[in-house]
């Protein structure tokens, strides 16, 4: 799959694409990433890409024309490479929230063109004419779309075969259907007893016993507890969809969580 990123700051992506375990996806070409700077398609000696908003107000607005020329170049390059016409995504507070289901969809796709806005935003005419979907990481505002673009690329990359050291790793991720959309359970590693700031803190004994069925049940119960306490909305969705078993329901009642 191929993602073309339109950004005024392509240099931000260099370290991201070349470090960490997910770099395997980018270096192998499983997830191709091309960076495009709209300033390269602007006119004049100063290569201006923004201007003051009509009607007044603070800040600057990215101009439609350099973005449009950049997008045309992306489409021509994709066509020459035999790539399919890709949807154009804009990262914006007005967009739909990106979740695991959305990441899985993009992970199984042919890719997209990711538009990273800056300043006060982008000329609405470009959005109306060229953008297919808008995505958001949550109800807060960032300085630009680069961080959300990296978040999407990171989430997509780790779902590609062979990228993670253990093929089953992402199956145990929070929100994964393998966990019925619940949060993941807590994790522990060596030493068995950590001398923490409040005294000795041992690993839960069940994790040391080697009884796989008991460990699996413990992790399921911890997942239920974590979800009930931190994201009760996810727990309610799982219940409504019939993804909780009788033992799950009994455990939650026992702890006063239903």
pLDDT digits (tens, 9 = 90+) for 123-143: 999 999 999 999 999 999 999
Asked whether residue 169 carries a pLDDT value surpassing 60, the answer given is no
93 is a catalytic site residue: yes
Question: DSSP state, 49?
Answer: -
CATH class of 2-157: alpha beta
Asked whether residue 172 carries a pLDDT value surpassing 70, the answer given is no
Q: pTM of whole model > 0.75?
A: yes
Question: DSSP state, 255?
Answer: T
Any idea where the domains of the chain sit in the sequence?
A: 2-157, 174-254
Identical fold at 2-157 and 174-254?
no
Catalytic residue selected from 120, 154, 184, 249: 120
Cα distance between the two ends of the chain: 43
Instruction: Determine the CATH number of domain 174-254.
Output: 1.10.1270.20
125 is a catalytic site residue: no
């Amino acid at each position: 799959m191929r993602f073309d990123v339109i950004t005024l700051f392509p240099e931000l992506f260099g370290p991201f694409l070349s470090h960490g375990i997910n770099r395997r996806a980018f270096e192998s070409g499983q997830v191709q990433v091309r960076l495009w700077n709209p300033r390269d398609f602007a006119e004049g000696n100063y290569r201006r890409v923004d201007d003051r908003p009509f009607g007044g107000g603070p800040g600057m607005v990215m101009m439609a024309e350099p973005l449009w020329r950049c997008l045309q170049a992306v489409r021509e390059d994709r066509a020459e490479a035999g790539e399919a016409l890709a949807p154009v995504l804009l990262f914006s507070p007005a967009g739909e929230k990106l979740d695991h289901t959305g990441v899985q969809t993009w992970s199984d796709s042919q890719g997209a063109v990711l538009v990273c806005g800056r300043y006060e935003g982008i000329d609405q005419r470009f959005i109306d004419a060229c953008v297919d979907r808008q995505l958001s990481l949550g109800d807060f505002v960032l300085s630009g779309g680069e961080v959300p673009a990296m978040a999407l690329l990171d989430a997509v990359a780790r779902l590609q075969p062979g990228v993670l050291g253990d093929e089953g790793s992402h199956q145990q991720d929070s929100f994964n259907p393998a966990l019925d959309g619940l949060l993941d359970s807590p994790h522990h590693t060596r030493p068995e007893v950590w001398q923490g700031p409040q005294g000795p803190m041992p690993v839960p004994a069940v994790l040391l016993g080697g009884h796989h069925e008991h460990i699996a049940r413990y992790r399921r119960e911890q997942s239920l507890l974590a979800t009930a306490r931190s994201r009760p909305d996810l727990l309610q969705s799982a219940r409504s969809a019939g993804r909780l078993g009788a033992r799950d329901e009994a455990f939650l009642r026992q702890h006063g969580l239903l």
